[in-house]
Amino acid sequence: MADGQTLKTKVVNTFDPYAVRAQFPILSRQVNGKPLVYLDNAASAQKPRAVIDALTATMEGGYANVHRGLHTLSNEATEAFEKAREIVARFLNAESPEQVVWTKGGTEAINLVANGLGLSIEPGDEIIVSEMEHHSNIVPWHLLRERRGAVIKWIPVLDDGSLDMAAYADLLGPKTRMVAVTHMSNVLGTINPVAEITRLAHAAGAQVLIDGCQGAVHATPDVQAIGCDFYVLTGHKLFAPTGIGALYGKAEALEALPPYQGGGEMIETVERDRVTYAKPPHRFEAGTPPILEAIGLGVALGWLAQYDRAAVQAHEHALYQRAVDRLDGEGWLRILGQAHGKGAILTFAVEGAHAHDVAQIMDRYGVAVRAGLHCAEPLAKRMGVTSSTRASFALYNTVEDADAFVDALIKARNFFV
């Protein structure tokens, strides 16, 4: 377990996607008699052998509840659990592990912040989000609109899928309390200028939350360089188990938040007529935490650290570009989002075909893609579509995957002509 939980300093200089792919057992299976081409990574990524083995080893030989026990198993589990927190802190370039709060995912992390902010929200206070947000970064703020009288303002998305930064600057004002934007769009692949977004918000006296559920995988999640008050990630997109995520917060931002849930672990003392709370991060971690899942996330990030981030990004973009180039000139295809520097997400609409039908036909050829609104209904309306199909590339995808995707898409389209 310890080996898998060390952020490796030896980085692989030559990136080999085939060697990476071989570490993912599920990618060797067939679907409908065809080799699996898994391109639903923006929804959830597959798990490498290192993570699978670490979870099995912990369950078989090192599991116990954390923090409260004095026996050997509890001490070992606590050490692994807290080591994973340290790994997440280094991954995000946080100043301290105490700035990392365990959550069950990105959604809970955003709700934690929204709930805490909501206790001080006054009618008319403003929250700025963008038109490209996932529902997880929209609905929690709508709850404050419904319950506290907050006003939600929207940063427009331009035709190429980038944010209208001039419009954003105009939205900021004395009533702005929070700016909550995605680091990278799960639909368009757009990577937003989050450092500049943060700088402008802070100049207006507002806090900033960055939804990094995609950006932590495909961009550069350096919270000190970004300067944000909060940054959110989820494990299952980072090759880790489901049910685990993390909230980074500046020390002063976390100190100012009230507890989100009550129970064991998040307290210092409990008496009949008073309760005192633990300091962050434990203040926000009521009850038995996701022990195995946190350890798995630590292992996943340790595994990922062996690969040069720029090389991985270049590989993913090359696959995206290969697919786009092969489809160039096809008048029946509309690609959603082509902002400069975007990540390797290819979302599209096929003329005369529903996205669900396209995805189901492509599945016949072993190609797994996503279809629907992608939990981003305001963006779909902005782009003028009722549904779309999405192929999202990861470091274990290959040129053969990109070609199989294009071949399957063309076959799917031929069903409708």
pLDDT per position as a tens digit, 186-235: 999 999 999 999 999 999 999 999 999 999 999 999 999 999 999 999 99
375 tagged catalytic: yes
Contact 36, 119 (CB under 8 A): no
**Within-domain flag for 257:** yes
Distance CA 407, CA 321 (A): 15
Terminal Cα-to-Cα distance of the chain (whole angstroms): 54
Q: Return the H-helix or E-strand segment holding 34.
A: strand 34-35
Predicted confidence at residue 11, as pLDDT, reads 55
Number of domains in the chain: 2
For residue range 237-251, what is the model confidence (pLDDT) as tens digits?
999 999 999 999 999
Q: Are residues 211 and 101 in the same domain?
A: yes
Q: Is 372 exposed, middle or buried (0-12, 13-18, 19+ CB in 10 A)?
A: middle
Q: Are residues 84 and 36 in the same domain?
A: no
Contact 243, 237 (CB under 8 A): no
Distance CA 112, CA 325 (A): 42
For residue range 22-40, what is the model confidence (pLDDT) as tens digits?
999 999 999 999 999 999 9
Predicted confidence at residue 9, as pLDDT, reads 42
How many other C-beta atoms can be found within 10 angstroms of the C-beta atom of residue 91?
A: 25
Give the pTM: 0.95
Structural domain span for residue 338: 12-41+308-414
**Within-domain flag for 50:** no
| pLDDT (average), residues 257-263 | 95
Q: Return the H-helix or E-strand segment holding 151.
A: strand 151-155
For the chain, the average pLDDT equals: 96
If DSSP codes are grouped into helix, strand and coil, which group holds residue 258? coil
Q: Which two tokens stand for residue 63?
A: 């599991």
Contact 387, 380 (CB under 8 A): yes
Predicted confidence at residue 7, as pLDDT, reads 45
CATH number for the domain that contains residue 368: 3.90.1150.10
Q: Percentage of the chain surpassing pLDDT 70?
A: 97
Predicted confidence at residue 335, as pLDDT, reads 98
Residue 6 pLDDT grade (very low, low, confident, very high; cuts 50, 70, 90): very low
Q: Is 67 exposed, middle or buried (0-12, 13-18, 19+ CB in 10 A)?
A: middle
Q: Are residues 123 and 32 in the same domain?
A: no
Q: Which two tokens stand for residue 370?
A: 């996503």
Predicted confidence at residue 84, as pLDDT, reads 98
Strand pairing category for 230-234 and 367-368? unpaired
Q: Are residues 237 and 322 in the same domain?
A: no
Q: Residue ranges of the alpha helices (H) in 127-230?
A: 139-148, 165-171, 194-203, 215-218, 223-226
CATH number for the domain that contains residue 178: 3.40.640.10
Predicted confidence at residue 53, as pLDDT, reads 98
Distance CA 297, CA 286 (A): 19
How many other C-beta atoms can be found within 10 angstroms of the C-beta atom of residue 56?
A: 11
Residue 296 pLDDT grade (very low, low, confident, very high; cuts 50, 70, 90): very high
Residue 49 pLDDT grade (very low, low, confident, very high; cuts 50, 70, 90): very high
Q: Are residues 289 and 230 in the same domain?
A: yes
Decide if pLDDT at 78 tops 60.
yes
Per DSSP, what are the bridge partners of residue 348? 335, 389
Q: Which amino acid is at 165?
A: M
Q: Are residues 293 and 314 in the same domain?
A: no
Per DSSP, what are the bridge partners of residue 180? 129, 209
| CA neighbor of 283 nearest in space, from 270, 267, 271 | 267
Q: Are residues 238 and 261 in the same domain?
A: yes
Decide if pLDDT at 144 tops 50.
yes
Predicted confidence at residue 330, as pLDDT, reads 94
Catalytic residue among 52, 375, 385, 399: 375
